[in-house]
């Protein structure tokens, strides 16, 4: 179970690196416009906000990566803390921006929490 926990935490971290790239560097590209179903004008107007959001996703990814190389008992606490941050952010995003966020961000984080807790028992 410990390996499954690490894999799921790694997947969530990788997703947040992807979100960072998408929001900080690809926001105003055709790919960014298609991903968020927004016009070029809307994407350009929100570029700074998206970049800030991407930076925060990078911090989440960094914290999750840290949890994978930390030693116990710190590693377990870091995993739970950063996964909880991801899940809460995903719930907020699903409630305010798009329900897709619930499936792309929240559910993977909650699955990783569950497996991490089971692995730690």
Q: Using the predicted structure, report yes or no on whether residue 121 has a pLDDT greater than 90.
A: no
- Mean pLDDT computed over 6-10: 97
Instruction: Look up tokens 């004008």; give the residue.
Output: 41
Consecutive H or E run containing 118 = helix 107-120
Here the tokens at position 35 are 């991903």
Residue 3: band (very low, low, confident or very high) from pLDDT cuts 50, 70, 90: very high
Residue 22: band (very low, low, confident or very high) from pLDDT cuts 50, 70, 90: very high
**Sign of the C-alpha dihedral computed for residues 4, 9, 14 and 15 taken in this order:** positive
Q: Which tens digit of pLDDT belongs to each residue from 41-73?
A: 999 999 999 999 999 999 999 999 999 999 999
Rounded to an integer, what distance in angstroms lies between the CA atom of residue 9 and that of residue 50? 24
Task: Return the pLDDT at 119.
Answer: 94
Q: Tell me which DSSP letter residue 121 carries.
A: -
Task: Return the pLDDT at 46.
Answer: 95
Q: Using the predicted structure, report yes or no on whether residue 1 has a pLDDT greater than 90.
A: no
How many Å separate Cα 35 from the centre of its chain? 16
Q: Which tens digit of pLDDT belongs to each residue from 83-111?
A: 999 999 999 999 998 999 999 999 999 99
Here the tokens at position 85 are 């941050």
């Amino acid at each position: 179970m410990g390996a499954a926990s690490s894999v799921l935490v790694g997947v969530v971290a990788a997703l947040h690196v992807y979100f960072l790239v998408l929001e900080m560097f690809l926001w105003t590209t055709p790919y960014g416009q298609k991903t968020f179903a927004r016009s070029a004008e809307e994407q350009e107007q929100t570029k700074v906000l998206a970049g800030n959001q991407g930076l925060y996703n990078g911090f989440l990814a960094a914290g999750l990566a840290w949890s994978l190389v930390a030693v116990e008992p710190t590693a377990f606490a870091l995993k739970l803390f950063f996964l909880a941050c991801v899940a809460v952010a995903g719930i907020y995003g699903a409630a305010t921006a798009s329900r897709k966020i619930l499936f792309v961000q929240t559910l993977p984080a909650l699955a990783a929490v569950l497996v991490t807790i089971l692995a730690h028992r």
